[in-house]
Amino acid sequence: MGVGECPNLAVLKLSELADHGLVNGQQLVNLEGINERLINTGDESFKHTDALYLQPNAVFFFLLYRLFNVSCGARELRYLFTGPKHTKSFADTGDVLKAIARTLLAHERKLAEQERSGRKAVGITNVVAYINSGLHGKIQYLRQSVRGDQSYIERVNSMYNSIQEEVETYKNKRNIEKGESS
């Protein structure tokens, strides 16, 4: 690769590249976040699954996908924890989970309201932007408790824990398979 073509943290050992079937000319990407082109092999299901499960924010990717049916990129997920670059207002995992729970509450209320009024139900259009603005915006409304949010917080935490186990199981299985093939 030429100078500047390989992003930071994208350099893997040759043995790791061979394990993933990467050959000359295939794209490597920043390993800090999600990118489905992370592992560019002929087997689409392998590439896609590994790209999702092996990235650092996999639990939050799956959580948002399962709750809202929304896929988000690495930048969006990193923003959940760090806020805008120039402010770096960090949020811990608990705050992010509460924000997601409160977003789910708002989302379901909006859907129910639209259904009652006979309108087409669309919910919150950009869930990730809503969460980010509620965590890091001028008015941090998702950091404040809302009436009725406790059951949503418990639901999100429970789902987060089960997804966390699922991701760890996948990674462990993958490491065992990798160890057996060497």
More confident residue, 28 or 118: 118
For residue 120, give the DSSP letter: P
Same domain for 84 and 17: no
Q: Per-residue confidence at 79, pLDDT binned at 50, 70, 90? A: confident
Please check whether residue 165 lies inside any domain of the structure: no
Q: What is the dihedral of CA 119, 122, 123, 126, to 10 degrees?
A: -150
> Per residue in 147-171, pLDDT tens?
999 999 999 999 999 999 999 999 8
Domain hosting 155: range is: 73-160
pTM: 0.69
pLDDT of residue 87: 67
Same domain for 107 and 48: no
Q: Among 71, 17, 51, which residue's Cα sits nearest to residue 170?
A: 51
Range of lowest pLDDT (18-32, 68-82, 159-173): 18-32
Who contacts 22 (Cβ-Cβ below 8 Å, separation ≥6)? 12, 28, 39, 40, 41
Average pLDDT over residues 52-62: 86
Convert 16-82 into a string of H (helix), E (strand) and C (coil). Answer: HHHHCCCCCCCCCCCCCCCCCCCCCCCCHHHHHHHHHHCCCCHHHHHHHHHHHCCCCCHHHHHHHHH
Highest-confidence range of 84-88, 107-111, 176-180, by mean pLDDT? 107-111
Same domain for 83 and 151: yes
**Would you call 15 exposed, middle or buried from its count of C-beta atoms within 10 A (0-12, 13-18, 19+)?**
exposed
- The C-alpha angle 33, 84, 89, rounded to 5 degrees, equals 100
Q: Cα–Cα distance between 137 and 130 in angstroms, integer? A: 10
Residues above pLDDT 70, as percent of the chain? 70
Please check whether residue 152 lies inside any domain of the structure: yes
Please check whether residue 136 lies inside any domain of the structure: yes
Q: Per-residue confidence at 86, pLDDT binned at 50, 70, 90? A: low
Q: Is the dihedral of CA 17, 18, 20, 23 positive or negative?
A: positive
Please check whether residue 109 lies inside any domain of the structure: yes
Q: Per-residue confidence at 19, pLDDT binned at 50, 70, 90? A: very low
Q: Cα–Cα distance between 173 and 168 in angstroms, integer? A: 8
